[in-house]
Amino acid sequence: MKTMITAIITLGLASPIVFADDATEDYNSKVFSKFYSIKTQIDTNTANIEALTTQVQNLPTGGGTGTTPSNDAQVQSNTTAITNLTTQVQTNTGNISGNAAQIQANTGNINSVSAEAQANTALNATQATQIQANAANDANQDTQIQANTTAVTGVTTTTQTLQGSVDSLTTQVSTMQSDVNVQGTQVQTNTDTITSNTARITALESGSGTGGGGTTLPPPEPTPAIDFNLYIPNATTKDFRLFANGACDTIAQTITRVDNAASSDITVTETLTGLLGDCTSYDHAYVLTADSFSVTSYHDTIVPSQTVVYETPGVLLNNTMEVGKTFGFAEAGVGNPLAGTIQKNTILSIEPSITVPAGTFTNCLKMQSTITSSFIIPNTEQVSWLCEGIGEVKRMYMDKGANEMRTMILRSFT
C-alpha cells in the first residue's frame, strides 16, 4: 500500500511543465502567482498523504480470522480509511493533472504573448526607421526653405539695383535736358555774335567804318585764355555708369601720377565690366608740363587677344585754348603703318556747373572731339565735360561702328 501511494504521488508530480520567456512583466507576475497557488495545494496534499501513510503504518497487524472482534472492526476501519485515502490520492492526482494542463495552457499563452511582444518590437523598429526618415525629410525641407529665402533675398537685391539704375537714368535724362537748354542758350549767343559780326562787316564794306566817314565800331572783346591746369584729373579712382545697348555697363577708372623734375606722367586706365565679359579696356598715357597736357600713347585692348597701340604725342590742352577754338593731332599705330588716328578738339563753352550722381561740379569745360581712325577702332564723335578740380565727369559719344549713342556719368570718386 505504501509503495502504491508513493507511486501515485510520483506520478502526480512528474507531469511535464514547460515555461517560456514572457515579454510582458505583468503577465509573468500573474502566471507566477497561479503557479505558487498550485504548488501550495500540492504541498498540502502531500502532507495529507504522508499523514495518512503514517496512520496506515501504525495500524495493528494480524487478525482477519474473526477470532478477535476488536481486530476485525479495526481492520474494517483501516480498510475504509485506506479506501478513502486512495480516493483522496486519486482526487489529488486529478487535481495535479488539471493543474499541469492549466500550466501548459498558460505556457502556450506565454509563448503567444512573447510572439506578440516580438511582433511589437519589430513594429517599433519599423516606426523608428520611419521617424528617422521623416526627420531627414524635415532637414531637406529646412534646407530648401533656406535656399528659397536666399533666392528671394537675391531677387530683392536685384530689384533694388534695377531701381537704382532707373533713378540714375532719370537723373541722366534730367541732365541731358539741362544740357539741351544750355546748348540752346549757346546757340542763341552764337547767333547774336554772328549777327553782330555781320553788321560790322556790312558797315566796313559800306565805308561807314574807319576811313569811310562813318562811326568806328569797337573791336570785339578778346576771349580770355583758359587755364588748362584746372581740368587735369586729380582723383585716384572714378566709377562711371555707362548707358549703352551692350552688356558692358560699368567703367572703373584708375588714375596714377608720377611727378618728375619738369613734368608729370599720368596714366588713366579704364576697365569696362558687365554680365557677359569680353569688355574693352584702355590704358592712356599722358604727360603734363607747364605749357600743355598731351597724350603720349593709347593701348586699347578690345578683347584679350587683340590690342591696338598708338604712340605719337598729341596736345589735348594748352595755354592757347579759348572757347570756339579747334586744335588737333594725328597718331600712328605701332607695328602697322596703315593704322592711324586723327583727333580734333573744339572748346564749345565754359558751363557754370553740372550735376551728376557723384555731385555738382562748377566751372566745367565742354569740349567736342572728332576721332577718325583708319584701323580697327571705328570713328567716334564725342562731347566731354571736364570740371575744375576733378577732370572728366561726363561723356557722350556716338560709336559709329556700333551705330549707337553712349553716355557715361560719374557716380563716385576717391
pLDDT tens-digit map of 342-375: 888 899 999 999 999 999 999 999 999 887 776 5
Pick 45 or 215 by higher pLDDT: 45
Phi, psi of 279 (to 5 degrees): -95, 160
Q: Is the pLDDT of residue 164 over 90?
A: no
Q: How far apart are alpha carbons 341 and 378 in whole angstroms?
A: 10
11 has pLDDT over 70 = no
The C-alpha atoms of residue 20 and residue 13 are separated, in whole angstroms, by 20
Q: What is the pLDDT of residue 233?
A: 86
User: Could you tell me which residues are beta bridge partners of residue 394?
Assistant: 385, 409
- Residue of higher predicted confidence among 154 and 311: 154
Q: Which residue has the higher pLDDT, 223 or 103?
A: 103
pLDDT confidence bin for 405, thresholds 50/70/90: confident
Other Cβ atoms within 10 Å of 280 Cβ, number: 16
Mean pLDDT of 39-68: 71
Residue 307 has pLDDT above 70, yes or no: no
Residue 93: per-residue pLDDT = 81
Q: What percent of the chain has pLDDT over 90?
A: 20
Residue 71 C-alpha cell reads as 481486530
Quick: pLDDT tens for 175-203.
555 554 555 555 456 556 666 666 766 76
Q: pTM of whole model > 0.85?
A: no
Identity of residue 397: Y
- Over the chain, what is the mean pLDDT? 75
Q: What's the pLDDT tens digit per position in 60-73?
A: 655 444 455 556 78
Exposed, middle or buried, 241 (CB in 10 Å: 0-12/13-18/19+)?
buried
**Picking from 21-25, 103-107, 195-199, 228-232, which range would have the lowest pLDDT averaged per residue?**
21-25
Task: Specify the 3-state DSSP secondary structure of 265.
Answer: strand
Q: What's the confidence (pLDDT) of residue 168?
A: 57
CB 272, CB 281: distance < 8 Å: yes
**Distance (Å) of CA 46 to CA 130, 143, 164, 256:** 58, 76, 106, 120
In the DSSP assignment, the letter for residue 333 is B
Which pLDDT does position 2 carry in this prediction? 46
Q: Is the pLDDT of residue 15 over 60?
A: no
Give 367 or 302, the one with higher predicted confidence.
367
**Top-confidence residue, 10 or 297:** 297
Contact predicate 387/320, CB 8 Å: no
